[in-house]
Each structure stands twice: as C-alpha cells, then as structure tokens.
A = this chain, B = another copy of it.
Amino acid sequence: MAGNTFGQLFRITTFGESHGEAIGVIIDGCPPNVEIDLEFIQGELDKRKPGQSKITTQRKESDTAKILSGVFGGKSTGTPIAMVIPNEDQRSKDYDHNKDIFRPSHADFTYQAKYGNRDYRGGGRSSARETAARVAAGAVARLFLKQKGIEIFAHVSSAGAIDAPNVPSRNLAELLEIRESNIVRCADPATANEMIELIDGVRKQGDTIGGKISCIIRNCPVGLGEPVFDKLHADLGKAMLSINAVHGFEYGSGFAGSEMRGSEHNDIFIAPEGDAPVSTLTNFSGGIQGGISNGMDIMFRVAFKPIATIMQSQQTIDKDGNAAEIKGKGRHDPCVVPRAVVIVEAMAALVIADHLLRQEAISL
C-alpha cells in the first residue's frame, strides 16, 4: 500500500532515488510470449532522457536499461521482468545546500514531515527521474499492445499559453514522425517553433513554464474498463495525475464539455455498413462511455504546472522553521512537457494493457 505499485494484472512496481545506486522496475503480469525488443525500449528511454536539446536540462545520463529476469529467447516468460537503470551523472553536491532547506513547491517539506528520514539529494524518491522506470515498463506494455494492434500517440499540445491546433485525423506513424522532427515534440511544426522560442526565452530568464500534452489511443477494442470505480478514464486519470507536475486531466470534451448542452454533446451512433465496427458521428465521449471503451479513438489531455526549480532567488524556510533564501542550482528543465510526452504514452500503455488482461479474465 506504500504506493509504488501501479496496475492490477499488468502491474509495475518501481524503486529508486535520483542519486542512489539505480532506479528500476519490476513488471509482474506481462503475458508470456511477448517479443521484448530492447532497441524499442531504449528508444523510448532516449526520448525521456536529460540532455536532449537546448530546451531540456543539460544533465547527461545515458539511462540504459538492463533486463535482469523474465525474458528467455527474446520473449517474455510470464515471470517478473525486472529492469534496472543505473544512476550516472550525479552531482550530489549540487544538493548539499538543500539538505536543511525546503524548496518552495517541492516535495522537500512534505517528505520530511511524512518520513522523518529523507534522501534530499536531487529530490530523492520524489524526483521525476523515477519516471524513467515507468517509461521502460511502459515500453514493454507497448510491445504487448503492438501485438494486439493498439497504438498510442501523445504530443505537446500547449506550451504556456501557446496552443497547437487539433492534430489532423491521420496515420499515427506520420504524426510521430512530425513530432520527432522538432525538439518540443509538437505535431504541428509551425506551433512547435513558437513553443521552442517561448521555452528558450523562459529558460534564459532562469524561469520555468507549464504546458499540456494530448494523447490518442487507437484501435482499442470495445469493452475495456470496469464499472464502477475502475472506469477506463478514471484509471487513465489516476495514471496521468501520478506523473510529477501534473495538475489536471480531462478526456473527451473535458472541462469545455461542462458548458455544453446534452443535445450537442451526445455522440450519435452511425449505423455500421456490413461488418464495420459501430462508430459515432462525434467523439465528445473521448472513446469511453460508462467507463468502457467504445472502439472510437480514446482522447485525453494532461496539464503540467511549471517546474518548481527556478534559477532565481526565493524566500523559504529551513527545517527549523526559520526564514531562509534559496536559489536553484543544478541543471533543470525550463519546461517539462517535451520530455514528458513518452511518460504520458507509457502510463497510457500500462493502463490499457492492464484493462486488456482484466477484460480477458471475464471472457471465459
């Protein structure tokens, strides 16, 4: 119950602190006979790793995942898949000044209060470094989903107040190519340039800024999601809200939908021709009705706050409650979303893989 496990049947447990020996993950429940493509896993990690471009942190870590168990002859065996990612470029000294001071809007104060014993180096367990383990596990989930024809695509749809237009309804592989052609990971190249300019400007001011990521899950079979509490969007929401810096989640029509009338919001069914699957004229439901996937694209959006570590002086307090001043050191991201795109995809993949197994369990 200590909260380091996610999923019911396709289940991951992560471990590790930012400046400890290593971080890692155990995947328990991956079905046997999934082809474990190491290059794909590493490719996903590379999209999250630090030091990718001028608008990410300049820390350099290769984030190389090593598989310790659960794979035989290139395929999963159905036993736990353990993966370890050693920590490399730790400048723990960058954090000595944090030892007894609580950084504003960080987890320093709450961890100290909760546990009493806190690894303050680099944020310890509260560091977003933990998400590398999620990306590795999510990559395995994606390999499983790939075998089922299910695709997941996310991109940066907003940086600060700059919003990208809705992505055109096209092939996800094409969108991926466009997204990866720019360092901010937006599927609209023109907007991408604006976003990069904004983030770079913010960085130069020693400040940070938030953003949003939009995600599409395609070819998800009808029937995933469990009423009542484990609605598919509720599990997606929890997954996204568990990512560092996330402050909001909406699916389908989302917050805007709360201003609509039922007569415009209802997704009218289209009578299918021949063997075609059931579809709807609009998709305000975001592919989920009554908590269960209906076969349409699953669509959701995630809001990230600006990262708390800024390169400016801030007032704060120390462990004893005395006023203090702090200035960010270390190497940090001016905006989290470019690196968070694969984290969103990874968590989405884990939720879908889990619900695929859960649905299978009642199909007997």
Contacts and interface: CB of A to CB of B under 8 A. Distances in A.
Given A114-B223, A263-B310, A303-B250, A268 B14 contact: no
Contacts of A79: 2, 4, 15, 17, 115, 119, 124-125, 227
Interface residues of A, number: 148
Interface string A280-296: 10001110011111100
A153 interface: no
B2 A212 contact: no
Interface stretch (A167-175, A180-188, A232-240): A232-240
Interface stretch (A45-53, A56-64, A189-197, A355-363): A355-363
Given A14-B80, A233-B241, A241-B231, A257 B291 contact: no
A259 B271 CA distance: 42
A256 B66 CA distance: 39
A318 B325 CA distance: 62
Interface string A296-329: 0000000111111110101111000111000000
Q: How many copies does the complex hold?
A: 4
A331 interface: no
A260 B77 contact: no
A114 B11 contact: no
B26 A117 contact: no
Contacts of A161: 259
Contacts of A28: 2-5, 13, 15
A84 interface: yes
Interface in A98-147: 102, 104-107, 109-111, 113-119, 124-126, 130
Interface of A: 1-6, 8-9, 11, 13-17, 20-24, 26, 28-29, 31-33, 66-70, 72-73, 75-82, 84, 102, 104-107, 109-111, 113-119, 124-126, 130, 148, 158, 160-161, 202, 207-212, 222-223, 225-231, 233-235, 237-239, 241-242, 247-255, 257-263, 265-272, 278, 280, 284-286, 289-294, 303-310, 312, 314-317, 321-323, 356-364
